Structures are given as structure tokens and as C-alpha cells.
């Protein structure tokens, strides 16, 4: 019985832990499908975490918090789009700049607003909602089928993003822009606008992913609270071969491994904690090495587009 | 009649003509007047009328005061050499660039065409020389992307497929809407491009060099479809530099040269000779055609390829069972439609692509799966297809580019360091030998002209003192003078005893300089024949995969 | 004559661009500061004074310059081969680990040799560690960008493990420190009564070494060629795999030396926070320095001043030192924007000159 509860709670916490990566990976899938690599995703997630925190802290409303969580990253996405789409700077360079900007700005603003307090301010986290019927199952029900609404949102988005990319007119435009922007342009698709749109969606999703750290798990903000999960999301997009469902599988594997190592820590083991903590970072490298094939990537990935270039 | 005869008579006539009439080139201004009158008088005015169009790229004037008209229901050919301004003119009509001055009228209305979607709204579609298709997507997806008429959020593939099949039937353009474009042949991809336009209910179609990559059979099918289109009321602008095609398919012809209109003629009232004269407009020395000297004894083989198979870019077996032997002092031309394995063949020999099965030997030594450097050291020179991007490093100076293959050898470097002085000496020699025009020795070569860049690669590769020379499309995009220069160099190499493997899409080039001709089709060398035993028709059929008995 | 003059003016204009556009970053941060109720002029004044106002300040700036310059070089060298080494932070720690192991061993007690052995160990440790992403890139084709970033986290955890366990100084109970290295293997102070140590000389030598390596040697030519056009390099018979391994080894090695210098010159032992995120700033420095060793030196000095100035600002005004990284990221963004506009302007002028 205890084993069952333990296993189930590991799975449940794995699902919870994978949520930020799912958001970010879904967003990045859309962005990369449009032919842009956004290395700034980590910075955008930080901005989302920070925005969610201050929004909720000052208004007490989770809704306003979420609004703040997506608006910062969206502004960064617009800056990224301006750099990489209009100015055609190297996308990798632009992404790195966005990443470092997010890292610096969140730390600076947090300290400017809250000072160097020893006790970090806290907000009320979102409370979990049980799934009807399923959460009534004895013992495991309340563990396995009771999450914060934002977790449900993440999983609801997976099929939505899939449908968006592969079944809608706009999705077809995005994919064509990522594969062959010249064709898209010649067919009357505004390549710049599509890439802006993709980046903005990607930024909003990264922001939502980031907000999970402050609104769901801890209720407080720390410098670099995302701890590299933006980079993990990037790895998962590659692992997922630029398909939403596969990327989410990668994110879930990540979440499970993370939850497993936390579980192991809690019951105590001979393996040093630090080695367990390494697992979530080593895992993406291993699964990328095992599955990567360049041919799945959008053909125009990371290539700036310029009209009428001869 | 072989191509040799054709070219002989052509050049003879040309020379004669130029002696007689030096002033035959019509004055463009008087031409404009003619066109204007024409446009006014006819009751069915032109469906497209472009007036006084000028367009510049930097310092290059691509179009200068050009006037052009297209009538409803005609195929109007735009004829001219590379760089004559044909593609630019039509790109202006299609909204890809903006003219510096001039006006465009479509269907009697003044039109400002800012983008391709403006053009499509006006009923104009363009099929580019290099297809604008997404290989990873289906035919239907390629056709419907960006459509203005699609309502709603979701894709409606079934309805689109139905309409595609209708169009396909109406004009005889066979296509399966469900297949992935990457799996289609070049001819089929072109059909997708055409249907893309027709799907948008356009009635003006621009085709930019549509036959460049087609087999003779596919070409015939295309022409039939085009005729069926104009019969059903469409109007077509047909860009080409091939006289034969113009005569075969067009109703009227506008000839461009150096960004200017040099003549507008009815096809029925002109001849290939007259067109050639207008198109070239200057003296062309008659090509020195090698006579394919046959010695009594067969010279030794320098490159032998036995049953070689290799993977293509998409990891499926692409080169299949290639058999080929190249002899000392000959030029073996390999003809074929683009994308049938020419590049893969060259790369396999050069060590840039793995040999999956089979054996390659150069001068008796096995070279299969050696490193590119080892193969070069054993005596290979290779002028690659995409010279600018594969053969050169554009941000490097001419000196560095010339030693790209030998920088590690003496005297260009010692154990650790480079020797700039020796490099410079070598560069000076090659620059003099190959008459390369340079501005500054240390400036990046990216500022140099295409012909000069080609010469850098040629200079480097031909100075290697090698046994085998592979050249791939060496004259693509070059003018007649530069082409002739390169042909002379190839013949000189051959006379020095080098075995030359010439891979070219230009059938005329192959027929002009080779001693033997092979044909590559779908990754196989399907036949190798002596030049004197063949003609353009036979090679054409072979290129389309039709093996005939000889 | 006139054209020549115009060209010269153009070149000087171009070299001014990074400085002019970088200035915008300061304006943006000034706005943020004043919104937070801080007088930006005073803040910047304190910063400037902190970085240059005293001998200590200058020495501190130069000490930071040493680390940033070396790491910037490490990133720039890899960029020359179009390899993105975002893992210099991790390689720094691995190099510091190697150096510490030497420094606390018997070798560390030998004068001069101890220092040389520490630097060598830093190079070898950092270089070998950097071969992991190189191998993954060559063997599986996976992007070194993500791998190098993720490996940073792994290294930090590994170092934490060592400092809490096997490598922990047995004389302390709570502090996760390694034992102090022998004084013979500590870099000498070259400016008395400050922290300025001989590492800056090592950094200067590294600039020269990298310059010579890239522009004068055979392997440098091969590496540059692979970086400039991998297709052409392969075609010309160059060894792409070898180039990537060599350049990653050198890049990681330089990062490792940085770690060794930090242990030998600054901390004299290994701690968890031996680098306050130098590896990330190094990326900006390499980009701003246009991957040119001398450009990197200038950018490193400038950013070091920012960092030491912002530390003083934190101590005196309580303004968080994360201001420095914000400024640095903004400088990069504005320089990127500025360069594009400058290029457009230069393009226009050059065209005008051609027509003229």
C-alpha cells in the first residue's frame, strides 16, 4: 500500500514537474516550425516566473499574475523578432542576448522591488482542483487526478497545438514559412508577420511555463529559478522531431526522472544527492544523442529571410 | 542533322550576317512607338502592358526602358541570354521587385504590384526556374498555402484535392494531390507549380526557363498542356534562351539583350537565325570543336569505377551499380537531367560521399572510401558544381583560396607555420596564367565577378598536375566568351594526358567537347557511346530513361 | 582623394558604432533605476569610482579582466570554427578542479613548477571535458549549444558533491571548501597591497598565442576554413572532425586555464562560487569583440569595469549587482541593432562612392 502510494505520488509529481517544460517545448515547437530558433527561451521563462510572481503579489489575483507572466515574455519575443526577423541578426546570437537579458533583468528588478530581504516574500499558490469522478478513486485518486488548473491547461494545449500546426490554414502557413519562406512569400504569405506571430505565441507559452515555478510550485521567486529548464525544452523539441506530441513525451520523461530523483532523495539512498540532481540535465543529452536526425528539422531553421534577395 | 552541323551553319550564317548588316538592331525608342500604336489600335488590347520599365540592382541596370505587351490567348516568349533581364522583367510583373520607373497595365487597368499576392489578385502567376515548393509537404498543402479564398480556420484538404484533380484533368496535367512533393519527379513538381497558379484562377502564367530540367518527353507534355491552356483562354509568358523551344511553342517573341528590348516579332515571321542574331548581337568566334581524335590503340584507363552504389542525401540508395572507365587523354561527357546522380557520382569519386558497394580505382590504386585529401594527393582535381560555395571560401583572399588544397604542403608551410611569401608567389603565377582580374590581392574574393571566381577554382584545380579531372557544370551562368575559355582549358588538359570527366546539364556542351558520352539516369550510367556514333536525339531519349537499340 | 577620405571616415565610423550604441544600454538602465527611485547619475558615478577610483578598484577591475578575457578568448576561438561553446563556465570549474588537485598535492609545493603544473592541469582538464560536446556533435550530429549549456549544470553539481564530500577540507566542519593550495603554487601579486596577480600576464600571453595560432599556423588555417565554409573545407580535403576536436580542446583548455588562474591567483582554494557566471558574460564579450583577440580584450576590460563597479555600487547603495549582467545583455542587444543600421548606412555611402 505504501509502495503504491509512493509510486503514484512519484508519477503525479512527475506530471507536475514536466508542466513548465511542456509549455516551453510546445511554444518552441511552433517557433522553430516557422524557421526561427529561440535560444532566449530560458530568459523568457524567467521573465514569466517573475511576472507571474509580482502580478499576483501586488494584486492578489492569480489571473493578473498570469497576464503579467505572459506579457513580459511577449515583449521579449517582439524584441527577438525585431532582431532576428527585421534586422536579420544571427538568430543564435539574438537568442543568447534575450536569455542573458532575462537572467539579468529579473534578478535586478526583483532586488530593486523587494530589496535584499532574508525572508523571501511569498504568494498564495494556485490550489489544486480534482478531476471529477477520477479523483474520487480511493487512495490514488486524490494523488493522481488532482492538479493545479495550469497543469490541465498544459496538457489541454498539446492536442490544440498539434491541430493548430497541422490542421489549420495558419498552421500550414507557419510550416511553409519554416520550410521554404520564399515559396510562402510567393504564395502571398507575409513571412515576417508569421515569424512575429510564432515568436509571440512561443513567448507567451514560455511565460506560462515560467509562471509554473512561482505560481504553482514554490509561491516565491528566486534568481535563476528556472534552473536551465528552457534549455531542456529546447532539447525536447529536437528529441520530439518538431512534433508537439513527441516533445511532450520527452518533457514527461524529464518530469518523471526529476520526480524519481526527488523521491529517491526523500527516502534516502547511498547515491549522493548531487548525482541524482544531475539526472534531469544528463537525460536530455542522452535522449538527443539516441534519436537526433537533422532531416526532421524545418528546412529553413535559423535562416534569416530577406525579400527579393538575388 | 547533328548539333555540330546546326551550330556550324548557325555560326556561318551569323558571321555572314554581321558582315552585311551592322545596323540591323532596331532602335528601342521607335519600338516603343510601335507598341503604343499597336496597343491603341487593336480592339482587344493587351492583357498585360508594361511601359518604360527600368530596374536597377546596385550599379547593375537589369531593365532599361523596356516596353512589353501580352495578348489574351497567346504564348509570348521572352528570349535572351543569361543576364538579359528576362527574369527581372517578369519578377517586376509578379511583384517580387519594384521598378524604378515605368508603368504596368493589367487588363486595361493601371496596376501597382507590390507583392506576389497583388499579382495573384490580378490573375498573374509565376512558375520559377527553381521551384518554390516545400518538399516535406503534400501536393495539396503546397498548392493551398497562403490562399486568400480559404475561409475558416481549418484546412479543407478534401475539397482542395477535388479542385486540383479537376484542373489536372482540364489541362492534362497529371498529378496525385496526396503525394509528398519531395517524392515527385522534376516534371511532376513543375506541374504542381503550374497547378498552384491555376488553382488561384489566374489567367496569366509566367514560366521562367521551364524546360531547363525536363527530359525531352516531359518537355513535349508540357508544351501540349501549354497549348491546351491558351486554347482555353489563358495567356502565357514563356522565358527561355533556347531558340528551338521558342520556334516550337510561342506565338510572338520579345528579344532582350543587356536589359534592353532589341525586337518584337511574330514567330511565324521569323527564323532561328534572325533570333540568334538579335539575341547575341555581337561576333562570336566559331567554337574550336575537338575532333575526338581516335588513336589506333586504346589509351590506358586512369579511373575505373566498378559496380559502385552509394546513398543519396535522404539515406536511400541513390547511385546504383555505376560502371565507368575513364581513359588517359579523353573527355568523357556525362549527360543527364539534373538530379539524376551527377553530384553524387562526383562526390563518390572525390571521397566526399561514402561508397556503399563496389570499387573505384585511380591509376590502378583503389581509392574507394579514402579521405578527400588522400584522393587528391593520388591525382584528382575536381571543379564542383556550386563553385562559389563549395569551391571557394568567399571571405578569404584569392591567395588563401588558391592554396586551399595545398596549404599544408611544402613550400606553402613548414611543420607548424604557413609561409605567406610562397603562397603569394604561387598566387601571382596563377593570376597571370589564368588572366584573373583582381583588384586587391588581400581583399576577400566575394567582391569579384562570377567568371573570375570560376577562374580561381579552375586555376587551382588545373595547376594540380593530376591524372583525373572532374568538372561539373563548369560553364553554367557564364557568357559565351568565358564558356569558350573553359572549353579550351578542358581540351588542353586532355591533350596533356589528363582523363577529364565532364558532368554537364548542357547537352550542347557535352556534344561539343567530349570524346565519349555517357548518360546518367536515376543514379545509373545507362549507356556510354563514342561521340561519332550518336546524335542529340539518341542522347535525349537516353536522358529520359528510354534505352533504344543502336 | 576625396573618396579615400570618405572611406577612412567610414572605417572610423564603423569602429565607433559599438560604443555609441552601447551607450543606449546605459540610458535604458538609467530609466529603470530612476523608476525604482535611485538617482542613476549617482549610481553610475559610484560605479565609475568603484571601478577606477582607487588602486584597489583598478586592481579589482584588472583581476576580473583576466578571467573575462581568457574566457572570452575561449568562446571566440571556438566561434572561429563556428562551434558554439556555451560551456566555458563548466570547463572553468573542471579546470579549477584539476588545478586544485595539483595545488594541494606534493607538486604544488615546488616553486614555479607548481604554478606551471596547475595551469597545465587546468588546460588538460578543461580541454578534455570540452571534448564531450565535440564528440557528441561529430558522432551524433547534435548541437553543441544545448549540450554545453546543460553540462554546466552537471559540472556545478559535481563540484558541489566533491566539496561536500571527498575534496572537503578536513579541518572545517561546515564550509564546503577544498584545502588551501600550497603557497608555492599561488600566483604572485604584481601590484603590492592589491589583489592584482600575475594572471593578467597569462591572459596577455594567451591573446598572442591565440592570434598566432589562428592566423599563422597550419592548424589555424584549417580551423578558420572549416569555420568559414565547412563544405568548401571538406571539398578541399580538410579534416572537419579533427578541426572541431582541436578547437573544442583549445577552447575548453583556455576556459580550464581561467579556472586554474582563479584558484592559483584569487581564491587559493576551490569553492562553489569561484565564477560568478563569467562563462555567460564571456559569450557576450566574444560576440562584441567580433571574435578578434584584441577586440575581446577591449570588451573584457569594459565588462570587468562594469562588474567591479557594480559590486561597489551594491556595497554602497544597495543596488543589486545583477545590474551588471542586465547592462551587458543590453549592450549586446544595442550593439547588434547599431551594427545593422551602421551597415545599412555604410552600404549607402559605399554605393554613393561607387557612383561618384
Q: Around Cβ C135, how many Cβ atoms within 10 Å?
A: 17
Quote the cell numbers at residue A58: 501586488
Cβ-defined contact of B418 to C221 (cutoff 8 Å): yes
Cβ-defined contact of B155 to A295 (cutoff 8 Å): no
pLDDT the model gives residue A219: 80
Q: Does C333 touch chain A (CB under 8 A)?
A: yes
Cβ-defined contact of B145 to A170 (cutoff 8 Å): no
Q: Where are the domains of chain C?
A: 72-305
Q: Label residue C8 exposed, middle or buried (CB < 10 Å: 0-12, 13-18, 19+).
A: exposed
Closest CA of chain A from C13, distance in Å: 20
Query: A208-236 burial, b if ≥16 CB within 10 A, otherwise e?
Result: bbbbbbbbbbbbbbbeebbbbbbbbbbbb
Residues of chain A positioned with their CB less than 8 A from the CB of C136: 285, 289
Q: Mean pLDDT across chain C, nearest whole number? A: 88
Minimal Cβ distance to B391: which of C217, C235, C354: C235
pLDDT the model gives residue C6: 63
pLDDT the model gives residue C346: 65
Quote the cell numbers at residue C84: 558554439
pLDDT the model gives residue A164: 95
Minimal Cβ distance to C336: which of A97, A115, A238: A97
Of A81-85, A282-286, B147-151, B184-188, minimum mean pLDDT range: B147-151
SS (H, E, C) B24-72: CCCCHHHHHHHHHHHHHHCCCCCCEEEEEEEEEECCEEEEEEEEEEECC
Name the residue among C18, C75, C63 with its Cα closest to residue C282: C75
Cβ-defined contact of A108 to C322 (cutoff 8 Å): yes
Quote the cell numbers at residue A166: 497541422
Question: What's the pLDDT tens digit per position in C127-170?
Answer: 999 999 999 999 888 889 889 999 999 999 999 999 988 888 88
Helices A41-59 & A2-33, crossing angle to 10 degrees?
110
Helix (H) or strand (E) holding A194, with range, is helix A191-211
Answer whether CATH 3.40.50.300 is correct for domain B380-465: yes
Helix (H) or strand (E) holding C301, with range, is helix C293-317
Residues of chain C positioned with their CB less than 8 A from the CB of B370: none
Cα atoms in the 13 Å half-sphere on the side-chain side of B24: 17
**What is the interface size between A and B, counted as CB pairs within 8 Å?**
79
Minimal Cβ distance to C351: which of B58, B408, B413: B58
* B200 neighbors B146 (Cβ within 8 angstroms): no
SS (H, E, C) B135-204: CCCEHHHHHHCCCCCCCCCECCHHHHHHHHHHHHHHHCCCCCCCCEHHHCCHHHHHHHHHHHHHHCCCCE
pLDDT the model gives residue C10: 64
Q: Where are the domains of chain B?
A: 20-123+240-279, 304-364+483-550, 380-465
Quote the cell numbers at residue B324: 565507368
- B237 by DSSP, 3-state: which? strand
Helix (H) or strand (E) holding C131, with range, is helix C113-140
Question: What's the pLDDT tens digit per position in C21-48?
Answer: 888 888 998 998 888 888 889 889 998 9
Chain B (353-382) residues lying within 8 Å, Cβ to Cβ, of chain C: 371-373, 375-377, 382
pLDDT the model gives residue B240: 85
* C312 neighbors C49 (Cβ within 8 angstroms): yes
Cβ-defined contact of A83 to C161 (cutoff 8 Å): no
Mean pLDDT of A165-183: 93
Report d(CA C41, CA B277) in Å as an integer: 75
Minimal Cβ distance to B116: which of A173, A186, A310: A186
Cβ-defined contact of A168 to B136 (cutoff 8 Å): no
Mean pLDDT of C246-262: 96
Report d(CA A223, CA A213) in Å as an integer: 12
pLDDT the model gives residue C91: 96
pLDDT the model gives residue A117: 64
Of B422-431, C66-75, C125-134, C188-197, minimum mean pLDDT range: C188-197
* B518 neighbors B332 (Cβ within 8 angstroms): yes
- B255 by DSSP, 3-state: which? strand
Number of domains in chain A: 1
Instruction: Please spell the DSSP secondary structure of B290-338, one letter per residue.
Output: ---PPPSSPPPEEEEEEEEEEE-TTSSEEEEEEEEEEETT-EEEEE--T
pLDDT the model gives residue B548: 46
- Against chain B, the chains showing at least 3 CB pairs within 8 Å are A, C
| Residue A247 CA, distance from chain mean position | 11
A308 domain-assigned: no
Of A17-31, B7-21, B399-413, C186-200, minimum mean pLDDT range: B7-21
Closest CA of chain A from B143, distance in Å: 9
Mean pLDDT of C179-193: 87
Mean pLDDT of A185-201: 91
Name the residue among B421, B423, B449, B447 with its Cα closest to residue B435: B449
Question: What pairing do the DSSP bridges indicate for beta strands B524-530 and B516-521?
Answer: antiparallel
pLDDT the model gives residue C348: 65
pLDDT the model gives residue B286: 36
Nearest CA in chain A to C146: A231
Closest CA of chain C from A61, distance in Å: 23
Interface predicted TM-score (ipTM) of this complex, two decimals: 0.87
Chain C (280-319) residues lying within 8 Å, Cβ to Cβ, of chain A: 280-281, 283-284, 287, 318-319
Cα separation values, A291 from A178, A186, B330, C28, C66, Å:
22, 35, 47, 44, 41
First to last CA, chain A: 70
A55 domain-assigned: yes
Q: Label residue A71 exposed, middle or buried (CB < 10 Å: 0-12, 13-18, 19+).
A: middle
E strands of B71-128, at which residues?
75-79, 101-106, 109-111, 124-127
A122 domain-assigned: no
- The CATH number of residue A193's host domain is 1.10.3470
Quote the cell numbers at residue A240: 520530439
Helices A91-114 & A41-59, crossing angle to 10 degrees?
30
pLDDT the model gives residue C2: 53
Name the residue among A168, A54, A277 with its Cα closest to residue B154: A168
**Enclosing domain of residue A284:** 17-115+148-296
Report d(CA C261, CA C267) in Å as an integer: 9
A138 domain-assigned: no
What is the CATH number that goes with domain B304-364+483-550? 3.40.50.300
Report d(CA C10, CA C16) in Å as an integer: 10
* B233 neighbors B223 (Cβ within 8 angstroms): no
What is the CATH number that goes with domain B20-123+240-279? 3.40.50.300
Ranges in chain B, pLDDT < 50: 1, 14-43, 283-292, 548-550
Minimal Cβ distance to B132: which of A173, A183, A308: A183
**With 90 as the cut, is the pLDDT of residue A143 above it?**
no
- Against chain C, the chains showing at least 3 CB pairs within 8 Å are A, B
User: What size, in residues, is chain C?
Assistant: 356
Report d(CA A41, CA C285) in Å as an integer: 21
Report d(CA B359, CA B405) in Å as an integer: 25
Report d(CA B275, CA B250) in Å as an integer: 13
* B324 neighbors B509 (Cβ within 8 angstroms): no
- C137 by DSSP, 3-state: which? helix
**With 80 as the cut, is the pLDDT of residue A133 above it?**
no
Amino acid at each position: 500500500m505504501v509502495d503504491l502510494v509512493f509510486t503514484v505520488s512519484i508519477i503525479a509529481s512527475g506530471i507536475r514537474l514536466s508542466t513548465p517544460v511542456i509549455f516551453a517545448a510546445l511554444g518552441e515547437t511552433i517557433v522553430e516550425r516557422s524557421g526561427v530558433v529561440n535560444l532566449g527561451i530560458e530568459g523568457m521563462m524567467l521573465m514569466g516566473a517573475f511576472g507571474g510572481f509580482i502580478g499576483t503579489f501586488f494584486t492578489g489575483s492569480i489571473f493578473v499574475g498570469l497576464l503579467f507572466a505572459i506579457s513580459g515574455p511577449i515583449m521579449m519575443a517582439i524584441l527577438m523578432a525585431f532582431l532576428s526577423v527585421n534586422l536579420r541578426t544571427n538568430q543564435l546570437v539574438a537568442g543568447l542576448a534575450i536569455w542573458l537579458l532575462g537572467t539579468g533583468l529579473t534578478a535586478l528588478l526583483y532586488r530593486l522591488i523587494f530589496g535584499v530581504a532574508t525572508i523571501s516574500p511569498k504568494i498564495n499558490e494556485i490550489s489544486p482542483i480534482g478531476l471529477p469522478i477520477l479523483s474520487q478513486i480511493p487512495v490514488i485518486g486524490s494523488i493522481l487526478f488532482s492538479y493545479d488548473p495550469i497543469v490541465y491547461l498544459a496538457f489541454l494545449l498539446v492536442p490544440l497545438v498539434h491541430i493548430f500546426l497541422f490542421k489549420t490554414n495558419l498552421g500550414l502557413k507557419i510550416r511553409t514559412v519554416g520550410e521554404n519562406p520564399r515559396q510562402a512569400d510567393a504564395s502571398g504569405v507575409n513571412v515576417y508577420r508569421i515569424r512575429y506571430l510564432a515568436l509571440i505565441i512561443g513567448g507567451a507559452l514560455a511565460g506560462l511555463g515560467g509562471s509554473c515555478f512561482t505560481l504553482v510550485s514554490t509561491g516565491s521567486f528566486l534568481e535563476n529559478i528556472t534552473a536551465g529548464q528552457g534549455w531542456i525544452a529546447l532539447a525536447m523539441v529536437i528529441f520530439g522531431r518538431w512534433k508537439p506530441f513527441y516533445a511532450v513525451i520527452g518533457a514527461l520523461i524529464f518530469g518523471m526522472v526529476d520526480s524519481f530523483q526527488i523521491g529517491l532523495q526523500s527516502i534516502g539512498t547511498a547515491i549522493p544527492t548531487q548525482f541524482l540532481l544531475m539526472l534531469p540535465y544528463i537525460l536530455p543529452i542522452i535522449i538527443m544523442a539516441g534519436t537526433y536526425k537533422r532531416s526532421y528539422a524545418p528546412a529553413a531553421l535559423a535562416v534569416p529571410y530577406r525579400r527579393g534577395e538575388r | 542533322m547533328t548539333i555540330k552541323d546546326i551550330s556550324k551553319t548557325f555560326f556561318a550564317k551569323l558571321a555572314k550576317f554581321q558582315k552585311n548588316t551592322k545596323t540591323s538592331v532596331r532602335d528601342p525608342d521607335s519600338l516603343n512607338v510601335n507598341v503604343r500604336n499597336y496597343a491603341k489600335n487593336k480592339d482587344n488590347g493587351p492583357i498585360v502592358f508594361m511601359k518604360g520599365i527600368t530596374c536597377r540592382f546596385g550599379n547593375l541596370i537589369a531593365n532599361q526602358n523596356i516596353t512589353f505587351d501580352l495578348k489574351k490567348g497567346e504564348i509570348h516568349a521572352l528570349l535572351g541570354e543569361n543576364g538579359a533581364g528576362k527574369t527581372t522583367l517578369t519578377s517586376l510583373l509578379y511583384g517580387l521587385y519594384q521598378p524604378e520607373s515605368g508603368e504596368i497595365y493589367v487588363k486595361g487597368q493601371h496596376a501597382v504590384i507590390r507583392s506576389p499576392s497583388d499579382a495573384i489578385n490580378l490573375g498573374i502567376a509565376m512558375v520559377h526556374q527553381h521551384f518554390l515548393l516545400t518538399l516535406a509537404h503534400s501536393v495539396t498543402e503546397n498548392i493551398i498555402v497562403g490562399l486568400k479564398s480559404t475561409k475558416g480556420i481549418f484546412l479543407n484538404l478534401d475539397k482542395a484535392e477535388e479542385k486540383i484533380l479537376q484542373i489536372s484533368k482540364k489541362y492534362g496535367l497529371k498529378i496525385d494531390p496526396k503525394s509528398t512533393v519531395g517524392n515527385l519527379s522534376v516534371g511532376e513538381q513543375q506541374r504542381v507549380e503550374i497547378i498552384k497558379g491555376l488553382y488561384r484562377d489566374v489567367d496569366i502564367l509566367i514560366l521562367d526557363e521551364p524546360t531547363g530540367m525536363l527530359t525531352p518527353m516531359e518537355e513535349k507534355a508540357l508544351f501540349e498542356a501549354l497549348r491546351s491552356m491558351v486554347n482555353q483562354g489563358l495567356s502565357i509568358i514563356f522565358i527561355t534562351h533556347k531558340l528551338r523551344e521558342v520556334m516550337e511553342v510561342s506565338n510572338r517573341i520579345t528579344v532582350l539583350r543587356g536589359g534592353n528590348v532589341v525586337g518584337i516579332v511574330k514567330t511565324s515571321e521569323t527564323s532561328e537565325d534572325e533570333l540568334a542574331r538579335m539575341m547575341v548581337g555581337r561576333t562570336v568566334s566559331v567554337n574550336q570543336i575537338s575532333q575526338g581524335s581516335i588513336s589506333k590503340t586504346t589509351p590506358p584507363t586512369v579511373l575505373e569505377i566498378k559496380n559502385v552504389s552509394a546513398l543519396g542525401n535522404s539515406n536511400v540508395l541513390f547511385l546504383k551499380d555505376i560502371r565507368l572507365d575513364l581513359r588517359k587523354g579523353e573527355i568523357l561527357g556525362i549527360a543527364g537531367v539534373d538530379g539524376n546522380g551527377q553530384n553524387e557520382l562526383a562526390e563518390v569519386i572525390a571521397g566526399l560521399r561514402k561508397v556503399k558497394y563496389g570499387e573505384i580505382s585511380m591509376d590502378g590504386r583503389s581509392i574507394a572510401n579514402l579521405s578527400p585529401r588522400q584522393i587528391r594527393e593520388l591525382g584528382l582535381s575536381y571543379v564542383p558544381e556550386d563553385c562559389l560555395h563549395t569551391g571557394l571560401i568567399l571571405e578569404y583572399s584569392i591567395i588563401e583560396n588558391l592554396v586551399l588544397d595545398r596549404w599544408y604542403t611544402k613550400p606553402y608551410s613548414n611543420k607548424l607555420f604557413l609561409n605567406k611569401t610562397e603562397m603569394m608567389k604561387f598566387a601571382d603565377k596563377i593570376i597571370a596564367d589564368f588572366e584573373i582580374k583582381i583588384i586587391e590581392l588581400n581583399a576577400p574574393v566575394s567582391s569579384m565577378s562570377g567568371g573570375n571566381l570560376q577562374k580561381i577554382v579552375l586555376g587551382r584545380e588545373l595547376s594540380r598536375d593530376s591524372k583525373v579531372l572532374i568538372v561539373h557544370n563548369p560553364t553554367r551562368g557564364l557568357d559565351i566568351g568565358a564558356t569558350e575559355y573553359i572549353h579550351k582549358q578542358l581540351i588542353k588538359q586532355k591533350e596533356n594526358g589528363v582523363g577529364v570527366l565532364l558532368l554537364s546539364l548542357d547537352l550542347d556542351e557535352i556534344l561539343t567537347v567530349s570524346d565519349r558520352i555517357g548518360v546518367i539516369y536515376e543514379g545509373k550510367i545507362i549507356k556510354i557511346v563514342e561521340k561519332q556514333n550518336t546524335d542529340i536525339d539518341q542522347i535525349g531519349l537516353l536522358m529520359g530513361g528510354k534505352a533504344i537499340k543502336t | 582623394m576625396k573618396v579615400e577620405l570618405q572611406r577612412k571616415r567610414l572605417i572610423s565610423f564603423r569602429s565607433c558604432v559599438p560604443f555609441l550604441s552601447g551607450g543606449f544600454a546605459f540610458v535604458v538602465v538609467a530609466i529603470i533605476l530612476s523608476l525604482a527611485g535611485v538617482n542613476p547619475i549617482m549610481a553610475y558615478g559610484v560605479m565609475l569610482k568603484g571601478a577606477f577610483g582607487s588602486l584597489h578598484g583598478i586592481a579589482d577591475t584588472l583581476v576580473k579582466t583576466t578571467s573575462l578575457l581568457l574566457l572570452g578568448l575561449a568562446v571566440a576561438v571556438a566561434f572561429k570554427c563556428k562551434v558554439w561553446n556555451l560551456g566555458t563556465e563548466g570547463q572553468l570549474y573542471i579546470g579549477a578542479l584539476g588545478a586544485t588537485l595539483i595545488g594541494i598535492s606534493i607538486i604544488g609545493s615546488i616553486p614555479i613548477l607548481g604554478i606551471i603544473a596547475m595551469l597545465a592541469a587546468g588546460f588538460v582538464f578543461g580541454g578534455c571535458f570540452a571534448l564531450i560536446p565535440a564528440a557528441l556533435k561529430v558522432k551524433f550530429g547534435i548541437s553543441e549549444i544545448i549540450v554545453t549549456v546543460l553540462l554546466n549544470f552537471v559540472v556545478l553539481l559535481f563540484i558541489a558533491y566533491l566539496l561536500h564530500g571527498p575534496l572537503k577540507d578536513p579541518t572545517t566542519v561546515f564550509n564546503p571548501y577544498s584545502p588551501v593550495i600550497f603557497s608555492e603554487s599561488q600566483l604572485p601579486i604584481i601590484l603590492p597591497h592589491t589583489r592584482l596577480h600575475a594572471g593578467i600576464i597569462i591572459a596577455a600571453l594567451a591573446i598572442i598565442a591565440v592570434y598566432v595560432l589562428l592566423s599563422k599556423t597550419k592548424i589555424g588555417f584549417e580551423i578558420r576554413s572549416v569555420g568559414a565554409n565547412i563544405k568548401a573545407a571538406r571539398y578541399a580535403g580538410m579534416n572537419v572532425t579533427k578541426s572541431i576536436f582541436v578547437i573544442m580542446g583549445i577552447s575548453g583548455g583556455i576556459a580550464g586555464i581561467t579556472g586554474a588562474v582563479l584558484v592559483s591567483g584569487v581564491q587559493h582554494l576551490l569553492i562553489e562560487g569561484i565564477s560568478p557566471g563569467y562563462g555567460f558574460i564571456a559569450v557576450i564579450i566574444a560576440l562584441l569583440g567580433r571574435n578578434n583577440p584584441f577586440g575581446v580584450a577591449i570588451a573584457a576590460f569594459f565588462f570587468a569595469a562594469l562588474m567591479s563597479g557594480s559590486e561597489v555600487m551594491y556595497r554602497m547603495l544597495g543596488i543589486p549587482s545583477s545590474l551588471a549582467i542586465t547592462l551587458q545583455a543590453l549592450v549586446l542587444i544595442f550593439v547588434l541593432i547599431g551594427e545593422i543600421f551602421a551597415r545599412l548606412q555604410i552600404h549607402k555611402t559605399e554605393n554613393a562612392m561607387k557612383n561618384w
